[in-house]
């Protein structure tokens, strides 16, 4: 949250947004939320939807994610050096119909640009996806829904997931929720996820951190993958 935004606590006292979040976190802790996860010995990195349709603002679903791409590249370099599995996801709907995404496309018609075989569904070339790295194609927010991602992670021997990508309030959050449901300890990298607006981004990170996975910084994520090597 931006520290210069004003908030009001339950007693009516003006506080900064940072103070308000600190108080909220303390209430969560007293209520039994905000537990901490133990990093696994064999993580995999899941890069959620950093496709041109999201990373380039000229496309309907897109926004400026340059900083997210840069930070994700730092993490991917460490993961590749350590031999940690990397899985990319992309949203792609059939050219002649909406696949299983009809309801979602009613809510987000901007995503109708994300059609199989078009540039918006390609992984951003700045990430340098390599041979041997996996691509999961999806038509829902979660990277786990109708994709077989959980089975792939188990085949790869992964015992936890490190999540990057877009958008924080949409596909990243949905993926974190379903990773928790699939019993994978999940670590969402703060600098490596992004959204169209700050408010849903911040709220989603707080919600993920409270209930589904740990929100960590990129240096901690890099240390996590380097520990494997």
CB distance 23 to 34 below 8 Å: no
Report the alpha-carbon distance of residue 222 to residue 228 in Å, rounded. Answer: 10
DSSP alpha helix (H) spans, 31-146: 52-55, 66-82, 102-107
Under DSSP, is residue 78 helix (H, G, I), strand (E, B) or coil? Answer: helix
> Does 180 participate in catalysis according to the annotation?
no
Beta strands in the chain, from DSSP E residues, in sequence order: 6-8, 14-16, 43-48, 86-91, 134-138, 160-166, 186-194, 214-216
Tokens of 68: 């997210």
Report the alpha-carbon distance of residue 65 to residue 55 in Å, rounded. Answer: 5
Which of the following is catalytic: 63, 171, 180, 192? 171
Report the alpha-carbon distance of residue 114 to residue 110 in Å, rounded. Answer: 9
> Which residues are tagged catalytic?
171
């Amino acid at each position: 949250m931006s520290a210069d935004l004003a908030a009001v606590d339950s007693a009516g006292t003006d506080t900064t947004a940072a103070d308000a979040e600190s108080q909220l976190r303390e209430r969560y802790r007293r209520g039994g939320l905000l537990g901490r996860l133990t990093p696994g010995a064999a993580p995999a990195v899941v890069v959620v939807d950093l496709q041109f349709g999201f990373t380039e603002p000229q496309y309907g679903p897109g926004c400026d994610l340059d900083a997210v791409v840069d930070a994700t590249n730092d993490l991917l370099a460490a993961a590749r050096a350590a031999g940690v599995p990397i899985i990319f996801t992309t949203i792609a709907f059939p050219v002649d119909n909406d696949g299983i995404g009809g309801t979602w496309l009613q809510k987000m018609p901007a995503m109708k640009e994300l059609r199989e075989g078009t540039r918006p569904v390609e992984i951003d070339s700045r990430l340098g996806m390599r041979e041997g790295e996996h691509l999961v194609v999806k038509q829902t927010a979660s990277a786990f829904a109708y994709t077989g991602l959980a089975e792939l992670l188990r085949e790869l021997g992964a015992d936890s997931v490190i999540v990057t990508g877009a958008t924080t309030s949409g596909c990243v959050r949905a993926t974190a929720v379903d990773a928790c449901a699939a019993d994978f300890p999940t670590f969402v990298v703060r600098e490596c996820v992004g959204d169209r607006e700050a408010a849903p981004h911040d709220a989603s990170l707080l919600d993920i951190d409270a209930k589904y996975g740990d929100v960590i910084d990129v240096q901690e994520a890099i240390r996590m993958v380097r520990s494997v090597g």
